[in-house]
């Protein structure tokens, strides 16, 4: 079977929005709904408080996002839920009222599409919440509920709130707030499939799937793919799997996963011993300090795991709502964040920015990484500038989107690779050391576009290059990176 993934994803730049803390706007006609008591926007985020960000606020920020250069928006959950992160779904067919209800969503989707953005939503299909109607009916009616087999009831009475008593039902990671679906129940299965189809028919461009590895029912994700692709063959299906996702990336299930292994490797190389170990979550364990050679080996193994068609639609990232900000992992070292971002935007797959990374937002453990998007006077303008520059470069050179990947040099603190597409060759070099690096490259047999065209323009970063026949001498300043193109 030939593997097919969405072409648009390979050329996209994603921006992940956490709606509660990204932007807020209250239109006059919804003042009654949205003008409610909230946490102070600039106060540290909490587990249960709401900042009140909404979809009207996102609409208001679309011009900013267009100017930044991103082309696709990934929203963490927006369905009705009694939690600020909304991973406790109560109704899969209703937009949370605090986000502006269905009216705000419809306007957002139309405006985003009109401005050229793709939109993907977060599907929490492994578990529901205590407030989900079918489970709530069980809480109200006990053994008389018609929905018993939708979940995994193990005994009576159920204890949904009192932790001193057995819950008597299966929940995600034993967290009784999140009762787990019985995915072997045909009704449950069909319900989730129809939810997936419904929102695609409303116009969304794909699904990010929350903890899909926890769904053990045979053939579930294969059927989900078939149903989704029947509605929109170019819909993007990306799973949240933080470890080796080979079994889900066979071309029959997901188009890609959130590429946490790339983030771990890049942190190991760029941050190394400088990591703030207090921030490291389970996504980054075990943590390893890597030199360029070990980084190159890790990248080679990562690229070899999956078919190339899948690799080009991996969702690459340095951080997310579930991890500390990369800048905080790096102990606040902005140079490390800049170098890692260079690698993010030149690696095969689609880059994903977590909101605020582009303006230097910091944040430690959840929920600290989910801070309110700051006012412009608090932005790191240099970070914003290099993000914009890297996005422009990625769009300009197709090789950075779909070109093959060739490691050219990996020693000490210096790593250099090429992306090749047809006759186009782009070279990327990173010197993570504290001293200027002087290197000489001669072996370009595997990358003839480099030897034939001899790219000599430094389109990003600083340094000096000197071609002498088929030999390239490269000088790279300390703690810096550059991109060479024709």
Domain membership flag for residue 321: yes
Three-state secondary-structure class, residue 76: coil
Query: What is the chain's alpha carbon radius of gyration, rounded to the nearest angstrom?
Result: 23
Kindly tell me if the per-residue pLDDT of 480 is higher than 70: yes
Selecting among 20, 205, 210, 291, the annotated active-site residue is 210
Residues 222 and 276 grouped into a single domain = yes
Q: Strand 471-476 to strand 437-441: parallel, antiparallel, or no bridges (unpaired)?
A: antiparallel
Residues 175 and 186 grouped into a single domain = no
Q: What DSSP string runs through 420-457?
A: EETTEEEEEEEE-SSS-EEEEE---TT-HHHHHH---E
Residues 256 and 278 grouped into a single domain = yes
Kindly tell me if the per-residue pLDDT of 433 is higher than 90: yes
Kindly tell me if the per-residue pLDDT of 282 is higher than 70: no
Residue 255: DSSP 8-state: S
Q: Strand 89-95 to strand 79-81: parallel, antiparallel, or no bridges (unpaired)?
A: antiparallel
pLDDT-based confidence at 283, cuts 50/70/90?
A: low
- Give the residue carrying structure tokens 């992992």: 329
List, in sequence order, every residue forming a beta bridge with 297; answer none if it has no partner: none
Residues 193 and 174 grouped into a single domain = no
Kindly tell me if the per-residue pLDDT of 221 is higher than 70: yes
Quick one: average pLDDT of 205-225? 98
Distance CA 385, CA 168 (A): 54
Residues 282 and 349 grouped into a single domain = yes
Domain membership flag for residue 440: yes
Which of residues 342, 368, 396 is at a domain's end? 396
Domain membership flag for residue 2: no
Residue 241, number of CB atoms within 10 A of its CB: 22
**pLDDT score of 236:** 98
Q: What percent of the chain has pLDDT over 90?
A: 93
Residue 141: DSSP 8-state: H
CATH code for the domain of 90: 3.20.20.80
Domain membership flag for residue 244: yes
How many structural domains compose the chain?
A: 3
The H or E element that residue 82 is part of is none
Residues 415 and 460 grouped into a single domain = yes
Query: Which tens digits make up the pLDDT trace of 305-341?
Result: 999 999 999 999 999 999 999 999 999 999 999 999 9
C-alpha distances out from residue 304 to 282, 351, 405, Å: 24, 19, 11
CATH code for the domain of 454: 2.60.40.1180
Residues 188 and 172 grouped into a single domain = no
**Could you tell me which of 141, 172, 145, 143 has the C-alpha nearest to residue 156?**
143
**pLDDT score of 284:** 62
Which of residues 396, 417, 432 is at a domain's end? 396
pLDDT-based confidence at 275, cuts 50/70/90?
A: confident
Domain membership flag for residue 84: yes
Residues 221 and 302 grouped into a single domain = yes
Catalytic residue status for 101: no
Quick one: average pLDDT of 55-74? 98
Selecting among 20, 39, 240, 333, the annotated active-site residue is 240
- Averaged confidence pLDDT in the chain: 96
Residues 411 and 338 grouped into a single domain = no
Quick one: average pLDDT of 402-427? 97
Which of residues 396, 414, 439 is at a domain's end? 396
Are 103 and 63 in contact by the 8 Å Cβ rule? The answer is: no
Kindly tell me if the per-residue pLDDT of 251 is higher than 90: yes
**pLDDT score of 231:** 98
Domain membership flag for residue 37: yes
- Kindly report the pTM of this predicted structure: 0.97
* Burial class of residue 116, CB neighbours in 10 A (0-12, 13-18, 19+): exposed
Residues 345 and 243 grouped into a single domain = yes
Are 383 and 339 in contact by the 8 Å Cβ rule? The answer is: no
Residues 254 and 282 grouped into a single domain = yes
Q: Strand 72-75 to strand 118-123: parallel, antiparallel, or no bridges (unpaired)?
A: parallel
Catalytic residue status for 210: yes
**Could you tell me which of 221, 216, 228 has the C-alpha nearest to residue 257?**
221
List, in sequence order, every residue forming a beta bridge with 118; answer none if it has no partner: 72
Residue 372: DSSP 8-state: P
C-alpha distances out from residue 457 to 395, 423, 482, Å: 17, 16, 10
List, in sequence order, every residue forming a beta bridge with 120; answer none if it has no partner: 74
Query: Which tens digits make up the pLDDT trace of 159-175?
Result: 999 999 999 999 999 99
Domain membership flag for residue 40: yes
pLDDT-based confidence at 285, cuts 50/70/90?
A: low
Distance CA 331, CA 66 (A): 30
**Domain residue limits at 173:** 133-145+152-179
Residues 297 and 162 grouped into a single domain = no
């Amino acid at each position: 079977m030939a593997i097919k993934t969405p072409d648009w994803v390979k050329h996209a730049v994603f921006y992940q929005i956490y709606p509660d803390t990204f932007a807020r706007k209250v239109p006059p006609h919804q003042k009654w709904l949205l003008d409610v008591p909230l946490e102070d926007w600039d106060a540290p985020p909490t587990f249960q408080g709401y900042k009140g960000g909404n979809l009207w606020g996102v609409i208001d920020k679309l011009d900013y996002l267009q100017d930044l250069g991103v082309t696709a928006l990934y929203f963490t959950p927006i369905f009705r839920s009694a939690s600020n992160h909304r991973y406790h779904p109560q109704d899969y067919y209703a937009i949370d009222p605090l986000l502006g209800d269905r009216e705000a969503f419809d306007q957002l989707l139309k405006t985003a599409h009109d401005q050229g953005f793709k939109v993907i939503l977060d599907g929490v299909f492994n578990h529901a919440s205590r407030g989900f109607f079918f489970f709530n009916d069980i809480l109200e009616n006990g053994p008389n509920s018609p929905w018993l087999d939708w979940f995994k009831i193990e005994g009576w009475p159920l204890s949904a709130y009192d932790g001193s008593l057995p819950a008597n039902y299966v929940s995600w990671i034993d967290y009784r707030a999140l009762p787990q679906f019985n995915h072997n129940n045909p009704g449950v299965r069909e319900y989730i499939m129809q939810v997936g189809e419904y929102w695609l028919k409303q116009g969304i461009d794909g699904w990010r799937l929350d903890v899909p590895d926890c769904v053990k029912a045979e053939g579930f994700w294969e059927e989900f793919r078939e149903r989704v692709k029947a509605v929109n063959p170019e819909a993007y299906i990306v799973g949240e799997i933080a470890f080796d996702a080979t079994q889900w990336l066979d071309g029959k299930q997901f188009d890609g996963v959130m590429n946490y292994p790339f983030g771990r490797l890049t942190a190991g190389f760029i941050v190394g011993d400088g990591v703030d170990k207090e921030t490291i979550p389970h996504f980054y364990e075990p943590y390893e300090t890597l030199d360029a050679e070990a980084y190159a080996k890790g990248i080679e193994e990562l690229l070899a795991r999956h078919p190339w068609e899948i690799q080009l639609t991996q969702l690459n990232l340095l951080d997310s709502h579930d991890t500390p900000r990369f800048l905080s992992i790096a102990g606040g070292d902005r140079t490390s964040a800049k170098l890692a971002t260079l690698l993010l935007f030149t690696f095969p797959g689609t880059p994903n920015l977590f909101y605020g990374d582009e303006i230097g937002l910091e944040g430690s453990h959840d929920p600290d990484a989910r801070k309110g998007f700051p006012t412009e006077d608090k932005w790191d303008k240099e970070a914003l500038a290099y993000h914009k520059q890297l996005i422009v470069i990625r769009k300009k050179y197709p090789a950075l989107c779909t070109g093959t990947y060739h490691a050219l040099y990996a020693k000490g603190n210096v790593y250099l690779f090429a992306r090749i597409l047809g006759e186009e060759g782009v070279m990327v070099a990173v010197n993570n050391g504290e001293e200027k690096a002087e290197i000489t490259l001669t072996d370009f047999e595997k990358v003839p576009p480099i030897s034939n065209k001899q790219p000599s323009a430094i389109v990003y970063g600083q340094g000096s290059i000197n071609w002498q026949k088929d030999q390239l001498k490269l000088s790279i300043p300390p703690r810096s990176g550059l991109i060479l193109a024709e």
